Amino acid sequence: MKTNFKDYLEKKHAQTIIDKFALEYKDKKVILYGAELFAGDLFRNYDLSELNIIGVSDRDFERHREGDYYGYKKISPLDLLETEFDLLLITEYDDSESKEYLKKDLFHDKDIKFKIKTLIKLNIIEFIHDTVNGDI
C-alpha cells in the first residue's frame, strides 16, 4: 500500500503551511527542490502562487533540463550555487535523502547564502508507520 499524498497533504493542512511560507518569505526568491509524485500533488491541488517561485530543482534535471515543470523553469542541482535565490524549499514526502545529498554532497564546505527548509515535514511517527507498513 502506497501513501495517498492527496489525503496526507489535506491532513497536514498543506495550504496553511504554504501560506505561512509565502508570508515569511514575501518578496524572496524561492526554488522548490523535488519533482516527484508528492510535489506533483502539491502543484495540482494547492495554490503556490503567493510564493515567488523562480524554478524547480531535482536531480533528474541534471539529465533532463528541457521543458518546464508545472510551468516553472527546471534547474539542475548542479546550477544552484550559480543561481540567485533566498530559499530552497524541499517538496518531498521524506526529505532525509535530499537533505543528505544537498548538505553533504552538493553544498559541503560551500558558503551558501540561502536557507534550506522543508515545506511539509514528515514526523517520526508517520515515518515509522510508513516504514513498518511498506508505504515508502
The pLDDT tens digits of the residues spanning 88-136 come to: 999 999 899 999 999 999 998 898 999 999 999 876 555 454 545 555 4
Judge if pTM exceeds 0.85.
Answer: yes
Dihedral over Cα of 42, 43, 48, 52: its sign: positive
**Predicted pLDDT of residue 64:** 85
- pLDDT-based confidence at residue 18 (cuts at 50, 70, 90): very high
What cell was used for 95? 526529505
**Predicted pLDDT of residue 2:** 52
- Looking at the predicted structure, is the pLDDT value of residue 65 above 70? yes
In the chain, where the domains are located: 5-133
CB-neighbour burial class of residue 9 (10 A; exposed 0-12, middle 13-18, buried 19+) = buried
**Residue length of the chain:** 136
The pLDDT tens digits of the residues spanning 40-64 come to: 999 999 999 999 999 999 999 999 8
Give CA–CA dist 83/78, Å, rounded: 10
Domain 5-133 CATH class label: alpha beta
